Structure 1
Amino acid sequence: MSRRNVLRAITATAATAVPLLGAGTARAAVPASAQFVLDGPGGNPVWKRSLHANWVMQSFAYDNTNGHIYFAQTSPGSTNGDLWITKTDLAGTELGAMALHGFGHGVSIAVEPYNGAVHLWTEWKSGSSGFGTRIGRFVFAAGSTLEAGDASIQDRTPSLDTTLINPQPAIDPVSGRLLVRYKVAADMPRIVVFNLSDARAGRLTSGYRLAERALPSRGSWGTANPFQGFTAYGQYAYLLEGPVGTTSYLTTIDLNDVGQSTVVDRFATTAGASLPGREPEGMAIWATSSGPRLAFGFHSNTGGTRQASVFYKSTLR
């Protein structure tokens, strides 16, 4: 560990340390990697594209093997956990859709091409709030409807000897890792990291985790600027926050750091500022031949037509 990281870890521990709950065996460090520059250049590959059934975009993820995007959508005001999953090309043109009944709010989705099929990871088994209480893995099948009780769904919820409230999955497709964001109590979010091969096989106990740490508690600021998505590339996780119609924020988290510290806290982005009813919705890593991209999305509403837009950052340091 560099002197800079040692000092940062000591400072964070003294100021905001949160105990590692359900620690089990000692965790390993996530290998060092480059970090996205949040104020760097990027692009806008998807602009105001309509998705299936005119439901609200909540999250998205890339099939980096076949060149597709999968969007999770919820009905406005719904609390029954029903979702649409819309498959598109890289420009956001619809190629198919699948209905999920009783799964959750669609806060985060992960896509895993594996053995010739596309497997989706989503929150699953919605509770009274409409958010999922478990994480399920299943095969995408365009034109089909999947009920929450279907036997084909694999339960891939981590078992960490602690409370997991509203677990939400993301996949780092470059490093081959599963990340799960969850809460142990109100305004106490955490993140845990596993090798995707272990997660796929259901090895999701404390002894298999690569890292686990607290995420920033936001208090009243977080109430006004709700969490809207997350993803990770290598050593760093990224958060998306913000309400409808005003400023949206990107945050960088070092997975090897401690406490509730951040690397970049509340970076304000003006991407998509002209979108009517602009609301941040979802993050994902887009792996391209020219390198990884940090993608983040926005829902908008043009005269009752709900649309999805995606932007990205591409500079690393």
Structure 2
Amino acid sequence: MRNIPSAANRRSVSRRGLFRAGGGLAAGAALGSAGVLLGAGPAWAEVPDSPRFDLVGAGGNPVWKKSLHANWVMQSFAYDNVHQHIYFAQVNSQNSDPDRVGDLWITKTDTAGNQLGSMALHNFGHGVSIAVEPYNRSVYLWTEWMSSSSGFGTKIGRFAFADGAVLEKTSGAIQDRTPSIGDTMINPQPAIDPSTDRLLVRYKTGTDQPRIVAFPLSDARAGRLASENRLVERALPARGSWGTDNPFQGYTAYGRYAYLLEGRANGPSYITVIDLNDTGQSTVIDRWQTTAGESLSGREPQGMAVWLHSSGPRLAFGFHSNTDGVRQASVFYKSEFV
């Protein structure tokens, strides 16, 4: 299903060279909460242009029904594009112990889904989105953190992956990397665009009021996540009653475009495309239905990531499945551009 707004229905974006080639703000400029440059008139923030992934076509399926470390539900995944590994986040959907709310397993695999290691996170969150950052001979994970009673994280934490480790939410090894841009930040969820070295955070400011904000990864790594550090910020589509039946299941970004994954178990799955340079709650492609993995038992969309493969960039998206109580992960991708 495609719904591409006409030019009349999409607000135009000023292109005045406000950003450096790497996507940063021009010196001395600052952004207001709606993305307007303060003191610079009504111009809107802008990230450099890039190609957009084509959602049609066969794509690929490098991971098929792989069991991860625990027999828990795969929620999200991301790539270490330097070492060509995947890190999956898993949550215990059958947890009934209040002391274990927000417990996650992280499973490290090769790009075919074969297990290479694991790590336990206590009271972190639901694992809706995970980001992977190879840096300084270590691999750092970015996840939601500090689980609330709902099971979702209230902050974003950055920490080094350590095979076999158990990390408590109070550990001093966790760096708080929650943006402080003036907005109420409900359920912040991180992603990294490895093609531009940007951290993106999806969050809500209220019921059904999702937003997305982007920062240079170098600033985010150092904890510089204030208003003056953001590259762009905009609203995401409100989901309404449709969203109740089709839960949000993950997102990622490649250059100018963000990709959202939605759908429920044993139902249709959708990908929505967002232009980070657009405004309001507009979309480029609204609810494009994918049939990838349709033969999976208990098929449920879970997670998106950008994979920088030797043959070119890939837009990867995943599915959890359940066959007679055995929970497994599958990953598909698109590699062509429009």
Q: By the TM > 0.5 criterion, same fold?
A: yes
Q: Which stretch has the larger CA shift, 37-46 or 248-257? A: 37-46
> Alignment partner of 2:243: what SS?
helix
Match of 1:16 in 2: none
| Amino acid corresponding to residue 21 of structure 1 in structure 2 | S
Q: Once the 2 structures are TM-superposed, how far is the Cα of residue 134 of structure 1 from its aligned partner?
A: 0.1
Any conservation in 2 of the 1:224–1:242 contact (CA below 8 Å)?
yes
Q: Once the 2 structures are TM-superposed, how far is the Cα of residue 63 of structure 1 from its aligned partner?
A: 0.4
- Say what the alpha-carbon RMSD is for the aligned residues: 1.7
Write out per-residue CA displacement over residues 49-105 of structure 1, whole angstroms, 9 at most, x where no aligned residue.
Answer: 000111110000000000100000001233701000000011001111000001000
Match of 2:115 in 1: 94
Match of 2:261 in 1: 240
Match of 2:127 in 1: 106
Match of 1:219 in 2: 240
Q: Is 1:70 paired with 2:87? A: yes
Any conservation in 2 of the 1:110–1:121 contact (CA below 8 Å)?
yes
Any conservation in 2 of the 1:22–1:161 contact (CA below 8 Å)?
no
> Alignment partner of 1:310: what SS?
strand
Q: Runs of at least 4 residues of structure 1 off by over 6 A?
A: none
Gaps of 5+ in 1: 13-19
Match of 1:194 in 2: 215
Any conservation in 2 of the 1:22–1:206 contact (CA below 8 Å)?
no
Match of 2:77 in 1: 60
1:60 and 1:109 mapped to 2: Cα distance?
6
Q: Once the 2 structures are TM-superposed, how far is the Cα of residue 24 of structure 1 from its aligned partner?
A: 7.8
Q: Is 1:261 paired with 2:282? A: yes
1:176 and 1:60 mapped to 2: Cα distance?
17
Q: Is 1:10 paired with 2:22? A: no
Change (3 A) 1:149 1:22: farther
Q: Is 1:286 paired with 2:298? A: no
Match of 1:41 in 2: 58
- Matched pairs, number: 307
Match of 2:27 in 1: none
Q: Is 1:306 paired with 2:327? A: yes
Any conservation in 2 of the 1:133–1:166 contact (CA below 8 Å)?
yes
Q: Is 1:171 paired with 2:192? A: yes
Write out per-residue CA displacement over residues 148-189 of structure 1, whole angstroms, 9 at most, x where no aligned residue.
Answer: 000110000000111000000000001110000000001110
> Alignment partner of 1:98: what SS?
strand
Any conservation in 1 of the 2:35–2:234 contact (CA below 8 Å)?
no
Match of 1:17 in 2: none
TM-score by length of 2: 0.88
